[in-house]
Amino acid sequence: MVEFYNQLHPVVQGVLKGLAVIMVIFPLGGVCSMAERKVSAWIQGRPGPNRAIVPWAAWIPVLGPFLQRLGLFHVMADGGKMLFKEDPLPGHVNKFYFVLAPIVAMIPALTTVTAVPFGAYLDEAGRVIPLGLANVDIGLLAVFAVSSLGVYSLILAGWASNSKYPFLGGVRASAQLISYELSMTLSVIPVFMWINAPGRESTMGLGRVVEFQSGAWEGFTSASWGGLWFVFVMPVSAFIFITALFAETNRQPFDMPESEADLVGGFHTEYGAFKWGLFFVAEYAHMIVGSGVFTLLFFGGWNPLPWIPLAKLVAWLGVSSPILVGILSITIFLAKVLFLIFFFMWVRWTVPRFRYDQVMEIGWKKLLPLAIANLLFYAFEIGALQTAQPWWVHAAIGVATLLALVFVVMRPEQKLAA
């Protein structure tokens, strides 16, 4: 099996790998939509969808009813409904762009996966090799560059629909993305400053970030920094990143582009059936990839716990087969990603939707100064650590950053002149 795969043409190998990943992402998107319904229901004190079942599953004694209660067959029912219901094409839309928009939504959502490693295995020398579609050097930059293209689908959908509310949704989507993209990018720079030295190779690679977080406990020395995940080393970065991620993926409380309360359905008001479904699979794919990037950057990737890297766990369990190690690492990684997706849904029912002006204010007046202060703090701090400055230098950097932040962000509200 493995030999047969290895003798294939590299292009065929690539296509197979890509298809395999899409075959995971697509159903995962569907399952996420069901998880969304179930989590919503549970938080609201309801059992959620739990009726649909196919006959052959009903024959399985315990598992069948359990899956029924979990609403698993509703996923198929929903998907089937999406596929077979009438696909309306309103008369007043620009047909070419109207059809193009959901396709444009899917492409970046599925393309970003290529640069995200999702697991690892150990080679004969015991080195950890990341598993991914393409281990590109620019890593995170590729993810950012391609995932930002996703907003074009919302703008296209809003504009091609040729009606008010979708248009407003599209405009909001573009404004929101630009506002939060800045903070998001600034928030991850400290991570890469921390792990890299000038002249290294693959400095923006995501595999490298996880490699850095795979250290073991070395006592209270500077070597132990490596095992600590970045969410503990840089909590502010992680906070900014996840906030911006909510905004980028159009999740509540930042779902301005489709806020049902004021824009009917936002950019997808005129859409129905499968085209509408594609937008949602794309949204969930964005969430999955975004959570994956967050896991890699701040949650230690495929390492089970801080200071317990994958290699150590594998040594304890005594597994040596690369395939088993790969499955183990992917399981750990997916568990973290799924937890983050649950967190997305949890926040959805906790924080009410911001008003549009609040979204802009949080983005530009709160998050961006915070991201810049965070960046400057870590820039000076990393410099101070590397040149082994005395403690008061660190204290001075911290105090200066806090003061600057209080001055910029926490000024009393200024009334705008009419």
Partner 1 sequence: MAIIPLERKPLTFVERTYVPNIMAGLKTTWKHFVRPKETMEYPEERPAIPPNYRGVPTLVKDPNGREKCVSCQLCEFVCPPKAIRITPGEIPPDAPNGHVERAPQAFDIDMLRCIYCGMCEEVCPEEAIFLQQQYSMTGYTREEMVNNKARLYELGGTLPDEHFKWDKKKAAEEHGNDRH
DSSP per-residue codes, 1-23: -HHHHHTS-HHHHHHHHHHHHHH
Our measurement of the distance from residue 382's CA atom to the centroid of its chain's CA atoms, rounded to an integer in Å, reads: 27
- Cα–Cα distance between 192 and 176 in angstroms, integer? 25
398 lies in the binding site for partner 1 (CB under 8 A)? no
CA 27, 32, 33, 35 dihedral sign is positive
User: Whose structure tokens read 């936002």?
Assistant: 266
70 lies in the binding site for partner 1 (CB under 8 A)? no
Which one, 47 or 383, has the nearer CB to partner 1? Answer: 47
CB atoms under 10 Å from CB of 220, counted, come to 7
| Residue 273 Ramachandran class (φ > 0 left, ψ -120 to 50 alpha, else beta) | left
Which one, 103 or 406, has the nearer CB to partner 1? Answer: 406
Our measurement of the distance from residue 161's CA atom to the centroid of its chain's CA atoms, rounded to an integer in Å, reads: 28
3-class SS at 82? helix
Residues 116-135 that bind partner 1 (CB under 8 A): none
- Cα–Cα distance between 140 and 301 in angstroms, integer? 14
335, 351, 395, 396: which one contacts partner 1 (CB under 8 A)? Answer: 351
42, 66, 232, 407: which one contacts partner 1 (CB under 8 A)? Answer: 42
44 lies in the binding site for partner 1 (CB under 8 A)? yes
Which one, 34 or 39, has the nearer CB to partner 1? Answer: 39
355 lies in the binding site for partner 1 (CB under 8 A)? no
Instruction: Candidates 1-9, 120-128, 158-166, 349-357: pick the segment binding partner 1 (CB under 8 A).
Output: 349-357
3-class SS at 69? helix
46 lies in the binding site for partner 1 (CB under 8 A)? yes
Which one, 16 or 406, has the nearer CB to partner 1? Answer: 406
51 touches 92 (CB < 8 A): no
E strand segments, 296-399: none
75 touches 33 (CB < 8 A): yes
Instruction: Candidates 21-29, 36-44, 54-62, 87-95: pick the segment binding partner 1 (CB under 8 A).
Output: 36-44
Which one, 20 or 406, has the nearer CB to partner 1? Answer: 406
260, 346, 395, 399: which one contacts partner 1 (CB under 8 A)? Answer: 346
Instruction: Candidates 98-106, 110-118, 166-174, 347-355: pick the segment binding partner 1 (CB under 8 A).
Output: 347-355
232 lies in the binding site for partner 1 (CB under 8 A)? no
218, 350, 396, 407: which one contacts partner 1 (CB under 8 A)? Answer: 350
1, 388, 410, 417: which one contacts partner 1 (CB under 8 A)? Answer: 410
* CA distances to 25, 40, 390 from 343, in Å: 18, 12, 40
3-class SS at 131? strand
Size of the site for partner 1 (CB under 8 A): 15
39 lies in the binding site for partner 1 (CB under 8 A)? yes
CB of 41 to partner 1, least distance (A): 8
307 touches 217 (CB < 8 A): yes
84, 96, 349, 407: which one contacts partner 1 (CB under 8 A)? Answer: 349
Binding site for partner 1 (CB under 8 A): 39, 42-47, 239, 346-347, 349-351, 406, 410
